[in-house]
C-alpha cells in the first residue's frame, strides 16, 4: 500500500478541508466518492493501452488529471482524502483485489464505518458499479 504523504498539494488540501465539515464518516465517504467520481473513471481498454500511468504517485499530477485513471491511482487519492479528513485512519481502509473478465487484476477498497465494511470502486462507476459494490467478472 502506497504511503500517504503529509505535504499535500493545495487543490487536494482544499477538498480535504471541505470534507472536514462532514457530519460523520458516512457523509465523508459519500462526498469523497462524489469528488473523485466526478473527475475520474475506469476504462478496461485504457488500463492496458496506458499501462505506464499506473506508476504515477505524484499527487499533484494525479489530481490535475481528469478522465481515465487506473484503479490503484484513484484508490490512492481516495485513501488520501479519507485519512487526511480526520474521519478515518489507515486501519479503516483495506485494499482488495478481484478479477475483471476473470483475467484482469482490479483493485478496490473496503472502508469501515461502524462495524460494517463498505466496498468502494470509483473506477467501476463507468460500468454501473455504485458505492457499496465493486467490479468483478464480466462488466460490459
- pLDDT by residue for the chain (140 residues), tens digit each? 778 988 899 999 999 999 999 999 999 999 999 999 999 999 999 999 999 999 999 999 999 999 999 999 999 999 999 999 999 999 999 999 999 988 899 999 999 999 999 999 999 999 999 999 999 988 75
Q: What is the pTM for the complete model shown?
A: 0.95
Number of domains into which the chain is organized:
1
Answer yes or no: is 138 within a domain.
no
Answer yes or no: is 136 within a domain.
no
Answer yes or no: is 87 within a domain.
yes
Q: Is 93 helix (H, G, I), strand (E, B) or coil?
A: strand
Answer yes or no: is 71 within a domain.
yes
Answer yes or no: is 31 within a domain.
yes
Query: Tell me, what's the pLDDT at 139?
Result: 72
Evaluate the CA torsion angle 17, 21, 26, 27 in order and state its sign.
Answer: negative
Query: Tell me, what's the pLDDT at 140?
Result: 58
Answer yes or no: is 52 within a domain.
yes
Query: Tell me, what's the pLDDT at 116?
Result: 98
Cα separation of 51 and 72, whole Å? 12
Answer yes or no: is 135 within a domain.
no
Q: Which domain holds residue 74?
A: 10-127
Instruction: Identify the CATH number of the domain in which residue 105 sits.
Output: 3.10.620.30
Cα separation of 64 and 86, whole Å? 23
Answer yes or no: is 137 within a domain.
no
Query: Tell me, what's the pLDDT at 39?
Result: 97
Q: Residue 4: left (phi > 0), alpha (psi -120 to 50), or beta?
A: beta
Amino acid at each position: 500500500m502506497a504511503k500517504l504523504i503529509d505535504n499535500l498539494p493545495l487543490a487536494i488540501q482544499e477538498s480535504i478541508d471541505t470534507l472536514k465539515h462532514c457530519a460523520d464518516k458516512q457523509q465523508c465517504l459519500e462526498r469523497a466518492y462524489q469528488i473523485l467520481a466526478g473527475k475520474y473513471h475506469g476504462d478496461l481498454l485504457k488500463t492496458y493501452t496506458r499501462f505506464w500511468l499506473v506508476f504515477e504517485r505524484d499527487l499533484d499530477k494525479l489530481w490535475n488529471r481528469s478522465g481515465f485513471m487506473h484503479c490503484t491511482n484513484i484508490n490512492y487519492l481516495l485513501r488520501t482524502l479519507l485519512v487526511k479528513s480526520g474521519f478515518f485512519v489507515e486501519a479503516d481502509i483495506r485494499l482488495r483485489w478481484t478479477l475483471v473478465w476473470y483475467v484482469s487484476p482490479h483493485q478496490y477498497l473496503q472502508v469501515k464505518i461502524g462495524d460494517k465494511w463498505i466496498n468502494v470502486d470509483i473506477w467501476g462507476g463507468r460500468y454501473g458499479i455504485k458505492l457499496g459494490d465493486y467490479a468483478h467478472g464480466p462488466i460490459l
